[in-house]
Amino acid sequence: MDRIQAKKRIAVLSDEIRLHNHRYYVLSAPIVSDFEFDMLLEELIRLEKAFPELAEPDSPTQQVGGGITKEFRQVQHKYPMLSLGNTYSEEDIRDFEERIHKLIGDEVEYVCELKFDGVAIGLTYRHGRLMQAVTRGDGVSGDDVTTNVKTIRSIPLKLHGNGFPEEFEIRGELILPHSSFKRMNEQRLADGEEPFANPRNAASGSLKMQDSAEVSKRKLDGFFYYLPGNNLPFKTHYECLIAARSWGFKISDYMVRCKTREEIFDYLKTWDKARYELPFDIDGIVIKVNDLRQQEMLGYTAKSPRWAISYKFKAEQVTTKLLSIDFQVGRTGAITPVANLQPVQLAGTVVKRASLHNADIIQALDVRIGDLVYVEKGGEIIPKIIGVDLEKRMTDPLPIVFISDCPECGTPLNRSEGESAWYCPNEDGCPPQIKGKLEHFISRKAMNIDSLGEGKIEILYDNGLVHNCADLYDLTFDSLIGLEKTHEATEDKKEKKISFREKTVANILNGIESSKLVSFDRVLYALGIRFVGETVAKKLVSHFYSLEKLMQADLLELIEVEEIGEKIARSILSWFSSQKNIDILRRLRSKGIQLTMIEQDNTRLSDKLAGLTFVVSGVFENFSRDELKRTIEAHGGKNIGSISSKTSCLLAGDNMGPEKRRKAEKLNVPILSEIDFLKMLQE
């Protein structure tokens, strides 16, 4: 395909993918399968790599992510991003409406909208293309998060249709839907990390991640509700939003126009209950004067517009009795106290258990067995105990003493400095930790041995067949056939019997054999090294290529890898210092498990950089640091982590640490830009 053909095909693919993105993420009405969509996107990615000069800044491939942002630049808002006045009572709504009529005296129409519980964002478009995305910040200025916002599939990078202003800003809320939040927290727990408390915190944390490819995986979403400015070609706020919907923005289907106070109150009462049926969080209702001319007449206070008010829902809260506390052991050994409650209806579901997180929370609440406790759902999802009804406390109840020994194996617990959780250090002999590590090893994103799910790991462990992941590869037909176990009935589930018949055993052995083809990065993730999740595993493998190189790395070499901090590095070093773990790796290698990055291209392209040593630092426009390092090695050069008098060149990108630059200048080490480096290769 020549350049002209590629340009035409890129234009066709881009328009088609934008259409499918809009139908899937905004309209919820897809017309192609996920597979067909992925094929279109992969074709566009291939063409843009082959013809990089044809890639547009608003290409749909931007929504896959890949850009790195080390520091988020502060940007002053063109129009201040004010907050809304809050109220929790209908009386305040009456007062608000009376003030409106006193000030403008006309008949007033209102627009009632859901108040999304997320992160406020302002998007600027010029000539129909997204130019900038800025957070609320302090209302005067916020952070430029354009690179990360471009990964959100429901946000148009190029607007549909016509009729939009040449330049305008639209404001809204970035949210994390419940499904994405649940999936993210499951992943964090699997990686040995603390789960996010609620979707809002998770959305905020996601938006400030440095790697936009990781932001893309978080599946953020966004709703838009306001166009600031005086040059809009519309008479009402409602018309603005209907027009924005036609341009491709995700506008709430739940906004309504109200003419009377009673209509407003009906809307409030409807959503106070119906909010629990939504797939995302809201924490109230926003009431706005619809007419833009009237908005201008009403004006603003120093902090908020006079033409709008926010009605906040009270978090639904119930009291129930604390019956007992269980202490659960996770696969990393972390001990989590879980409160068993007298069943109570809360926010549309029956709550029987609530996490107390850790010993510090128990102490701060001073909660005791038999107490009547206040329970609400954090972020409307996670039940949590927020307090105790002390007036109804029984006489002299005993304080809850956090356990000192593991409830499963009896090993004394320990807690590292700076951490809130207590841990059982007996990772080789504590049953929940052993089974948890095995279940993590076989999970879909790790070795993907799905034939071993549904409680089969527990059967293998109880029969003494597996104690670590390497034992799985010693299983035989004879050792498995005939095994069975009946899981007792619980309040939520019926009794279930699992039997290892011929077909079951054959599926298990086939699944284990197939796992030998799983790539090295997933194997590394499957090992369950604390803090080494999917992303960290990929970064390590793309940097070191093989298990041997990773095992030989010291603390400084590990920290040199993108996004690897000292905490992760020390965890990796600790894991590889265990002879038990080394023996497991030896056994896995002998069974044919992939412990090398097979995708690595070891072809030597030239000797242009032979004898030269490079330090690569900063963020680059066209390559990641790891790609540049591989390019250096492919042309005969050598990468080193720190600058010395023997360093040949410092390859410097944006946001490079000033100390490295000063040291290079002091030692007269040449400093090359990305363009300088590419010219060096072309000479």
Q: Is 499 found in the same domain as 446?
A: yes
Q: Note whether residue 599 is domain-resident.
A: no
Q: What is the CATH number of the domain that holds 378?
A: 2.40.50.140
Q: Note whether residue 481 is domain-resident.
A: yes
Spatial separation of the C-alpha atoms in residues 384 and 197, rounded to whole Å: 10
Q: What is the DSSP string of 426-483?
A: -TTT-HHHHHHHHHHHHSTTTT--GGGTTTHHHHHHHTTS-SSGGGGGG--HHHHTT-
Looking at 467, 500, 517, the residue that finishes a domain is 517
66: phi > 0 → left, psi -120 to 50 → alpha, else beta; which? left
Please, where are the H alpha helices in 65-117?
Answer: 90-104
Q: Note whether residue 402 is domain-resident.
A: no
246 CB contacts (<8 Å, ≥6 apart)? 160, 161, 163
Q: Is 85 found in the same domain as 208?
A: yes
Q: Is 350 found in the same domain as 287?
A: no
Task: Choose the weakest-confidence range: 60-69, 87-96, 382-391, 599-608.
Answer: 599-608
Surface-to-core class of residue 603, CB atoms within 10 Å of its CB (0-12 exposed, 13-18 middle, 19+ buried): exposed
pLDDT of residue 380: 46
Q: Is 458 found in the same domain as 343?
A: no
Q: What is the CATH number of the domain that holds 492?
A: 1.10.150.20
24 CB contacts (<8 Å, ≥6 apart)? 30, 37, 153
**How far is residue 114 CA from its own chain's centroid?**
24
- Choose among 653, 588, 568, 567: nearest CA to 616: 653
For β-strands 484-487 and 496-499, DSSP reports them as antiparallel
Q: Note whether residue 602 is domain-resident.
A: no
Contact 356, 362 (CB under 8 A): yes
Contact 511, 505 (CB under 8 A): no
Q: Is 156 found in the same domain as 46?
A: no
Q: Could you tell me which residue, 418 or 649, shows the higher pLDDT?
A: 649
Structure-block tokens of residue 14: 């881009």
Using CA atoms, how far residue 456 sits from 449, 510, 599, in Å, is: 11, 15, 33
Q: Note whether residue 426 is domain-resident.
A: no
Spatial separation of the C-alpha atoms in residues 544 and 77, rounded to whole Å: 43
Task: Choose the weakest-confidence range: 258-272, 288-302, 545-559, 614-628.
Answer: 614-628
Decide if 666 is catalytic. Answer: no
Q: Note whether residue 605 is domain-resident.
A: no
Q: Is 95 found in the same domain as 20?
A: no
Query: Is residue 349 scored above 80 in pLDDT?
Result: no
Domain of 22? Answer: 3-64
Tell me the pTM: 0.56
Average pLDDT, integer, range 665-682: 85
Q: Is 348 found in the same domain as 386?
A: yes
Structure-block tokens of residue 448: 């993907």
Q: What is the DSSP string of 354-400?
A: EE--SHHHHHHHT-BTT-EEEEEEETTTEEEEEEE-GGGPPSSPPBP
Spatial separation of the C-alpha atoms in residues 445 and 533, rounded to whole Å: 10
297 CB contacts (<8 Å, ≥6 apart)? 103, 104
Query: Is residue 599 scored above 80 in pLDDT?
Result: no
Confidence of residue 67 (pLDDT cuts 50, 70, 90): low
Strand partners, 486: 497
Contact 110, 311 (CB under 8 A): no
Spatial separation of the C-alpha atoms in residues 417 and 414, rounded to whole Å: 10
235 CB contacts (<8 Å, ≥6 apart)? 291, 292, 293
Phi and psi angles of residue 327, each rounded to the nearest 5 degrees, phi first: -115, 115
Contact 320, 371 (CB under 8 A): no
Mean pLDDT of the chain: 87
**Percentage of residues in the chain having pLDDT higher than 90:** 48
Confidence of residue 65 (pLDDT cuts 50, 70, 90): low
pLDDT of residue 569: 95
pLDDT of residue 325: 93
Spatial separation of the C-alpha atoms in residues 462 and 440, rounded to whole Å: 17
Query: Is residue 290 scored above 80 in pLDDT?
Result: yes
Q: Is 229 found in the same domain as 364?
A: no
Q: Is 306 found in the same domain as 246?
A: yes
- Choose among 129, 171, 179: nearest CA to 150: 129
pLDDT of residue 600: 47
Strand partners, 616: 651
Task: Choose the weakest-confidence range: 50-54, 215-219, 315-319, 514-518.
Answer: 315-319
Contact 424, 404 (CB under 8 A): no
Q: Is 298 found in the same domain as 436?
A: no
Instruction: Identify the active-site residue in 7, 49, 70, 115.
Output: 115
Query: Is residue 402 scored above 70 in pLDDT?
Result: yes
Q: Note whether residue 425 is domain-resident.
A: no
Query: Is residue 430 scored above 70 in pLDDT?
Result: yes
Q: Could you tell me which residue, 411 or 88, shows the higher pLDDT?
A: 411
Q: How many domains does one find in the chain?
A: 6
Q: What is the CATH number of the domain that holds 34?
A: 1.10.287.610
Spatial separation of the C-alpha atoms in residues 256 and 258, rounded to whole Å: 6
